[in-house]
Structure 1
Amino acid sequence: MRKGTEDLHHLGSPTSVLATAFLLSVVLDSAWLLTQEQQDLPAVKPDASLNVKFDPQTTKLTWDCKENTTYGECALIHKEKGLIKKKVKHSDCQCTFPDCSLHGGVTLTVEVSVNQRRLSEMLVYTNPGKEGTAAENFSCVIYDADFMNCSWAKGRAAPDDVQYFLYVRSKKRIERECPRYLKDSGTHVGCHLRNLSGLTSYSYFLVNGTSQEAGIQFFDSVLLLKEIEQYNPPDNISVQCNVSHCLIQWEKPRTRQARSNRELQYQLDIERWRDTSSSRSQLIVVFGDSGNRYNFPKPGSKAKHTVKIRTADARKARWGAWSPPVEFGSEEPESSLVYIYVMVVLGTLVCGLTLGCLFKRFLKTHRLFPPVPQIKDKLNDNQQVDHEMLWEKFTHEAGKGDKEEVLTVETVSEAPAKL
């Protein structure tokens, strides 16, 4: 007890009180300065959210704006095209990406700098709906320069009441729905477009669907219209032949957009007329920069041929339809048959005339040199005449005289009547 009283008395001395007060003032001043420094630091938390949002219809990425933003960058990571980056202006809180297919899902990132501190956020965009319900086997083709057909198949896991809709969007963000659908059991499986005005070289195609039973995934694709166009056959095909060659000429076909000769190629199918064997067919590729002409060596004056031509892009052999066949040369197959027939007829006539002349000549010869007639006994027609005796008697009597007697013999066609 005593000792404790002494300690209290020691602490209560004036010197100790002054020392304690000094120490307290130093500690409080340091604490005040530390608090003031902390108040001067930026009020930004490292895990602050930017509230990133993505609109697949406009391919626009947006986020919450922050004050004092000095830097910004956004990126889209595509499974096929890879990384696509876009710079962001100081006052903008959004960025728009070029059209690309999104049905396979994409990853988007945003990075901004606020008060010399960087904030970043990532967003994973997936295709909503049930797996396997999206349209399949999608394709489009442009023909006759002004028409386009698109087709697709029903998803393998799509419900029976599914209905699909096609939307086409140009590079200028002009979107329109298919005006005329092709149906299979009531389900849209194709589209026919008769007006392609407004479509740019690259166009975005979207096929989404609706159903009461399940959510339907969408399918989208970006197509280069130049690559899906099937060109018409060339115009004004003509053939001019001389002694050695046949010059085949044509004009480039009408296309949806103007194409130079260098952007086109042609395939010529030259065949002998009425000969469908593949060994006789000649497929020849001619590029447009050759002047849309081809010199075909003339096989002969009796060979008739036909030529058909079709068109394709010079960088991709997507051939269009064949032109109607154009004939050139002479008609060898038909003329040869006629020639053989005429030769047979002429040969028959010549042989007939030859035989007739020979027969006629034989008749004339027979008339000039008739056979020697027999001497008949006018007195006794019934008795046999001894020809040897008569001949010997005639020659013996003829040798006695100096003059030769001419015996005139008449041929008796009918014996005289008996007296």
Structure 2
Amino acid sequence: MEGPVILCLLWAAGVLGTPATSSEIPTEAHPPPVINFSVSVKNLCTIYWIWSPPEGVNAKCELWYKSHLGEEKMVSKNNFRIEEVALNERICLQVTSQCNVESTNTSDPVEMCIEPPQGDPETAVKRLQCIWHNLSKMNCIWLPGKTAPPDTKYILHYWYNTLEKSLQCTNFYVEGQFNGCSFDLLEKDVSSSDKIQIMVTDTTGAIRPSYNIINLNNVKPDHPILTNLSLQNASLYVEWESPANFRSNCLVYQVEVNNSKSMEHKVHEPKSKCHISETPPEPEGNSKNKHCFVIHDVDPDAPYTVRVRAKASRFCFEDNDLWSAWSQKKHIGQNHDSKIHTITLLFIPVAISISTLLLLLYLKRLKIIIFPPIPDPGKIFKEMFGDQNDDTLQWKKYDIYEKQIKEETDSVVLVENLKRTSQ
């Protein structure tokens, strides 16, 4: 109790003076605003805002800067801010200065904006999206703008951190209504935190440029390669090779099994590996990332059809449900209807061939019945007049012969008569 008593005595004697009230405590002053505020764009979508500290700041003031980009706020001692933003809209950054990280006494805001690209927004491409295929190739597709000329020749530029400057995509293609372009992007060249900056425009500048920031989470692997099926002790073993470029824990799989006998269809998601004892080990240094899944209690007499697909695991990438295509189907088991099916397939073309031959013969005969051959008029007239001419000639020959005989006979008679008269 001696301390408070001594303080009260000192205040009473006027040594310490009277304590200050709350209204008499000096408040923190507002610092002046920042100066030399500027903005610039590098690469394709990297925006640099930079400013200088305000002038005339109290020496006791430890300057901090609060910047507002839309609804996103950031407090930092840095006198700059760098953001990757798609430049399709007007983008503004507001900056204020303050003397404490949690201070509410801030300077007046200073704003600097980036204007959107010039051109009719209806000409810009729509629904621009990119998928990272098998960690090796980036495929980007888009729809043409509503008022874009139909003969537009598009240009796609891309950039990521390890590139010194943006590059132009050259492998263009068309998928239905979509236009697209693909470029190489290997996993070793980027990290999971990197982003790909994309800009699509045209060769003539007739359409408005369109920008996009692509996160490396839209990953679609190639389909697995189904290598082996085997039946062992009423269990079906399925073995496949995973797509290249992926670590073993970065993919999940689905195994589709169809029983043709019972018409049963099941899709399994393997959670653990199995081992096929009959499979010989791979030579050292030549092994591939193989996986195996076993399905128990199967019908050994039933025919099965199996295929596999994969997608990126959430342990390595964001779960975007982009499954690969299904692998080629493999069959195992005896199909009791296979012989009948084979015989039927062989019988059908033979039956069709015989039927076609019989039909051709029948049509030929039917044609003769319906359209009998027409006699040749020339031949008929030739036969008619040819016979008469022959008979006429024969009659003429007969008359001449008779005349010759008659004349000769008469001549002989005449000679004999003359001889008799002379005697």
> What is the letter of the counterpart of residue 212 of structure 2?
D
Match of 2:270 in 1: 286
Match of 2:309 in 1: 310
Counting only pairs closer than 5 Å after superposition, residues 156-305 of structure 1 correspond to structure 2 as: 156-158=146-148, 163-172=153-162, 174-182=164-172, 189-196=179-186, 198-201=189-192, 202-209=194-201, 216-224=208-216, 227-235=217-225, 237-255=227-245, 258-261=246-249, 263-272=250-259, 279-287=263-271, 292-305=291-304
C-alpha separation in 2, matches of 1:71 and 1:45: 9
CA contact (8 A) 2:34 2:52 kept: no
Cα shift at 1:193: 1.3
Cα shift at 1:238: 2.5
Q: Does 1:128 align with 2:128?
A: no
Q: Larger RCO: Structure 1 or Structure 2 (Cα < 8 Å, ≥ 6 residues apart)?
A: 2
Counting only pairs closer than 5 Å after superposition, residues 112-151 of structure 1 correspond to structure 2 as: 112=97, 118-129=107-118, 130-151=120-141
Superposed CA offset, 1:268-324 (max 9, x none): 111235x7x9x5332222346789443323543321212100001233321101112
Q: State the TM-score, normalizing by the size of structure 1.
A: 0.55
Cα shift at 1:158: 3.5
Match of 2:96 in 1: 111
Q: 1:76 to 1:332 in 2, by over 3 A?
A: farther
Match of 1:87 in 2: 76
Q: Does 1:60 align with 2:48?
A: yes
Q: 1:178 to 1:217 in 2, by over 3 A?
A: closer
Match of 2:327 in 1: 323
Seq. identity, %: 17
Structure 1: segments with no counterpart, 5+ residues: 1-43, 340-419
C-alpha separation in 2, matches of 1:104 and 1:235: 45
CA contact (8 A) 1:170 1:198 kept: no
Cα shift at 1:135: 1.7
Counting only pairs closer than 5 Å after superposition, residues 15-94 of structure 1 correspond to structure 2 as: 50-55=36-41, 57-64=45-52, 66-67=54-55, 70-78=62-70, 82-85=71-74, 87-89=76-78, 93-94=79-80
Cα shift at 1:260: 3.9
CA contact (8 A) 2:37 2:112 kept: no
SS of corresponding position for 1:132: helix
> What is the letter of the counterpart of residue 200 of structure 1?
S
CA contact (8 A) 2:254 2:267 kept: yes
CA contact (8 A) 2:134 2:243 kept: no
> What is the letter of the counterpart of residue 147 of structure 1?
K
> What is the letter of the counterpart of residue 97 of structure 2?
V
Q: 1:163 to 1:199 in 2, by over 3 A?
A: farther
Aligned residues between the structures: 278
C-alpha separation in 2, matches of 1:157 and 1:206: 21
CA contact (8 A) 1:74 1:87 kept: yes
C-alpha separation in 1, matches of 2:143 and 2:342: 57
CA contact (8 A) 2:153 2:203 kept: yes
Q: 1:322 to 1:100 in 2, by over 3 A?
A: same
Q: State the TM-score, normalizing by the size of structure 2.
A: 0.54
Bigger drift between 237-246 and 63-72 goes to 63-72
Q: 1:124 to 1:167 in 2, by over 3 A?
A: same
Cα shift at 1:100: 3.5
Structure 2: segments with no counterpart, 5+ residues: 1-29, 100-104, 276-290, 314-318, 344-423
